Structure 1
Amino acid sequence: MKLALVGDIGGTNARFALWRDEQLESVRVLATADYPGPEAAIGAYLAELELPLGAVDSVCLACAGPVGGDEFRFTNNHWRLSRAAFCRELQVRELLLVNDFCAMALGMTRLGEGERLQLCPGEPEAHRPWVVIGPGTGLGVGTLLQLADGSWLALPGEGGHVDLPIGSPREALLWQQLHAQLGHVRAEDVLSGGGLLTLYRAICALDGHAPRLHSPAEITAAALAGDAVALQVIEQFCCWLGRAAGNLVLSLGGRGGVYIVGGVVPRFAELFRASGFARCLRDKGVMSGYFEGIPAWLVTAEYPGLMGAGVALQQAFATARV
C-alpha cells in the first residue's frame, strides 16, 4: 500500500512527514540551502527512512506564494518545481501544491490539547470565518471556513501586504519614521521577524536613543531581560498585530475566532499575553462592541503547517492514506 507525504517549505527550512491515519509521522527538518530543489530534499528524506522512490503515492507541499500551472518558483528560497518533472523523478502519482497559509489555516482544525494559549475569551460562532495571522519571515494571513458538508475551505490571500494601521498619535509619529525609511509601509514591514529590528530603529530614532541592538533575537532577549526600549518595541509590535488582526475580523466577519501563529510571537509568549494586543484588537471605535465574545488564541503547536498540508491532501485525494 502506498504512502502519503506532506511538506511545509519555508525560506530556511523544509519540513517533511509521512501522513498516516490523519497524523504526522517521521517529521524531519532539512535546510533548503543544502539541496538544489525539493526533489533532492525529498529524496534524501526518503533515503533516511529507507524508503525507495515510488514508495510515496501522494504528496502535498505547502509553499509561500500563489500556486497554479506546472511551473512554481518558491518566493522565499532558490528552489523551483515543475509538477510533471517532480512526479516523474520521485515516481509520485498525485502532487498538490497549496499556499503556505492555506495549510497553516487548515492546521488550526487539528490543534491538540496544550497547543494554544487563550488571549481573549469567547466562543467561536459556527460556520463563520476563522482569522489566521502570523508573523514569521513575513506576515502570513489566512481565512478558514467550514462548509456545510463538514469539510474546510482555506482562502489564500496577501493580507500581510496591506497598509500598516495607525490607531494613535504615537503610532502616527512612528509611521512617519518608517515612511521616511521605507516609503510605502506595509503591515509586514513591522509585523515580521525582520520587522522587529525595523521597529526598534524607528523607536530609537523617534525617542533619541542610540541603537545598540542589531537583530530580532537580540531585541527579544533584551525585552525578556527587562530592557526598557526593547520592551517598548515588543509592546508596540503586539499592539500593531492586534490592530491588523482586528481589521481582518471586521473585513471578513471573522467571528469564528482569531489564531495567532508563526515563529515570532511564541518566543515572547508571556509578554504577548500581557501586552495591549487584546485591547488593540478590539479598538475599533463604534465597532468595538462587535468583538464581544470573539475568542483569540496564540498557537504553540510545533508543526501546524505540516498538519494542515495533511488535511489538504486528505480532502483532495481519497487515496491519500497508508
Structure 2
Amino acid sequence: MAMLLGDVGGTNARLAIARNHVIDEQTVTRFRGDDFTSFDDVVRRFLQEQDQPRISSMCIAVAGPVGGGKARLTNRDWDFDEDRLARLTDADQVRLINDLTALGYATPALHGDGLTVLRAAPEGRARNGQALVVGLGTGFNVCAVRALHGGAITAMEAEEGHTHLPANIYLRLAELLGADAARRFSSTEETFAGRGLSRLHAARTGGAPVRSEDIARAAEAGDPQAVATYDLFADLVGHLCRELALRFMPLEGLFLAGSVGRSIADRIDVFERGFLAEPLMRHIPENTPIFLIRDDMAALHGCLAALS
C-alpha cells in the first residue's frame, strides 16, 4: 500500500509516495500550476507516471484555508475536496491540511542541513513541549505545535495573518512613516508577507512599489535605501515574534519558514534586538530558541506525520 503526499502552493505542486512510513525520494515530482486546470488533473498525471499505485491514504498540504474537508488555494483558482479526492484515488483516508500545519507536524523530524539554529537558548532553560512555526512568504501564518504523551504531537490551525497588526508595531510605523502611511498596514499579513516588505520600502522611500525579491537583491548589493528597509523590516519581525512568543510560549523553538523568513536569517542580530526589546516578560523570548526551516521536503514529511 502507498501513501500519497502533496505540498501545493500557488506556483508549484509537489507530490510523493511513501511506503512503510518512509518517503520514496525517487517519486518526488514537482508540477507547475500553470500547466494544469485543477489539482485533480495533477493527481491523475502523477499516478499515471507512477504506474497507478494502490493508494491507501492521502494527505495534501494546501497554501490556503482548510475547513470541513475542503480547501482553496489563496493564489490560484484551485479547489480541493476530501471526498472527491477519495473517489479519484480510491484512498480509504484523505486529509487536507494547511501548509503551515504541515510544517508544524514536520518539526520533530527536522535536522541536519534542513534546519539552521539562528539563536540558541540558554543552557538549562525551561521546556514545555510547545513550538511555533512562523511562515513569512507570499502570505503569513503560524502553526502552534504541542508534544503529547507517547511521542505524538498535535499541530493547530490558525489564520494569524488576518489578525490586526499589534498596536506597538502600528505605532512604530506611524512614528516613522506618518499616520496616513501606517494605515496601509492594517493586518499582520499585509505588513509581514512579501508584499508588506514591498509596501514598507515604497512608504520609506516615497517611490513606487517594487518586488520584495528586487529589494533583497538591492540590499545584498549594498544599496543604502534597500538596506535600511530590510533592517527596519527585520526589527519589526523581531517585535512581532516577541508578541507571538508571549502568546504561544514556544519554549521548544520558534521556527521561521518561507522566502521572507530566509531573508531575515541574514539579519538575525537586528531581529534579536526587536525580539528582546521589551523588558516585560522578557524571560520568555530569552528562553526561546530560533530556528530556520531550510528543508524543501518539510511539508511532505509533515503530511506523512499527519497520517501516522
Name the TM-score, length of structure 2 as normaliser: 0.89
1-side partners of 2:71 and 2:81: how far apart? 6
Once the two structures are TM-superposed, the CA of residue 291 in structure 1 deviates from its matched residue by 2.5
Instruction: Kindly report which structure 2 residues correspond to 1:262-301, keeping only aligned pairs within 5 A, or say none.
Output: 262-267=258-263, 269-270=265-266, 272-273=267-268, 275-301=269-295
Show the counterpart of 2:193.
192
2-side partners of 1:179 and 1:283: how far apart? 21
The alpha-carbon distance between structure 1 residues 175 and 262, as it changes in their structure 2 partners (threshold 3 A), is farther
Contact 2:174–2:181, Cα closer than 8 Å, also in 1: no
1-side partners of 2:263 and 2:245: how far apart? 25
Once the two structures are TM-superposed, the CA of residue 97 in structure 1 deviates from its matched residue by 1.0
Show the counterpart of 1:251.
247
2-side partners of 1:268 and 1:295: how far apart? 15
The alpha-carbon distance between structure 1 residues 294 and 19, as it changes in their structure 2 partners (threshold 3 A), is same
2-side partners of 1:126 and 1:175: how far apart? 41
The alpha-carbon distance between structure 1 residues 107 and 38, as it changes in their structure 2 partners (threshold 3 A), is same
AA matched with 2:212: P
AA matched with 1:286: L
Q: Which runs of 5+ in 2 are unaligned?
A: none
Contact 1:133–1:259, Cα closer than 8 Å, also in 2: yes
The alpha-carbon distance between structure 1 residues 268 and 287, as it changes in their structure 2 partners (threshold 3 A), is closer
2-side partners of 1:82 and 1:41: how far apart? 14
Once the two structures are TM-superposed, the CA of residue 17 in structure 1 deviates from its matched residue by 1.2
Contact 1:220–1:268, Cα closer than 8 Å, also in 2: no
Show the counterpart of 1:221.
217
Correspondent of 1:236 among 227, 232, 236: 232
Work out whether 1:172 is the aligned partner of 2:171.
no
AA matched with 1:128: G
Once the two structures are TM-superposed, the CA of residue 59 in structure 1 deviates from its matched residue by 0.6
Once the two structures are TM-superposed, the CA of residue 175 in structure 1 deviates from its matched residue by 6.7
Once the two structures are TM-superposed, the CA of residue 129 in structure 1 deviates from its matched residue by 1.6
Once the two structures are TM-superposed, the CA of residue 254 in structure 1 deviates from its matched residue by 2.1
Once the two structures are TM-superposed, the CA of residue 125 in structure 1 deviates from its matched residue by 4.6
Contact 2:66–2:72, Cα closer than 8 Å, also in 1: no
Contact 1:107–1:311, Cα closer than 8 Å, also in 2: yes
Show the counterpart of 1:150.
151
Q: Which runs of 5+ in 1 are unaligned?
A: 315-322
Percent identity over the alignment is: 28
2-side partners of 1:33 and 1:142: how far apart? 28
2-side partners of 1:74 and 1:104: how far apart? 17
Once the two structures are TM-superposed, the CA of residue 293 in structure 1 deviates from its matched residue by 2.6
Q: Deviations over 1:49-92 (max 9, x none)?
A: 3x21x622211011234433354333332112332222112222
Once the two structures are TM-superposed, the CA of residue 168 in structure 1 deviates from its matched residue by 9.1
2-side partners of 1:16 and 1:4: how far apart? 11
2-side partners of 1:70 and 1:130: how far apart? 26
Moved more, 110-119 or 60-69: 60-69
Contact 2:245–2:284, Cα closer than 8 Å, also in 1: no
1-side partners of 2:179 and 2:106: how far apart? 37
Q: Name the SS for the 2:242 alignment partner.
A: helix
Q: Using CA pairs below 8 Å that are at least 6 residues apart, which structure has the higher relative contact order?
A: 1
Instruction: Kindly report which structure 2 residues correspond to 1:1-322, keeping only aligned pairs within 5 A, or say none.
Output: 2-24=1-23, 25=25, 26-49=27-50, 51-52=51-52, 55-122=54-121, 125-165=126-166, 166-167=168-169, 171-173=173-175, 174=177, 176-180=179-183, 182=184, 185-205=186-206, 210-211=207-208, 214-267=210-263, 269-270=265-266, 272-273=267-268, 275-314=269-308
Show the counterpart of 1:319.
none
Q: Deviations over 1:228-252 (max 9, x none)?
A: 1111111122112111111111012
Name the TM-score, length of structure 1 as normaliser: 0.86
Contact 2:63–2:73, Cα closer than 8 Å, also in 1: yes
Contact 1:105–1:132, Cα closer than 8 Å, also in 2: yes
1-side partners of 2:9 and 2:41: how far apart? 16
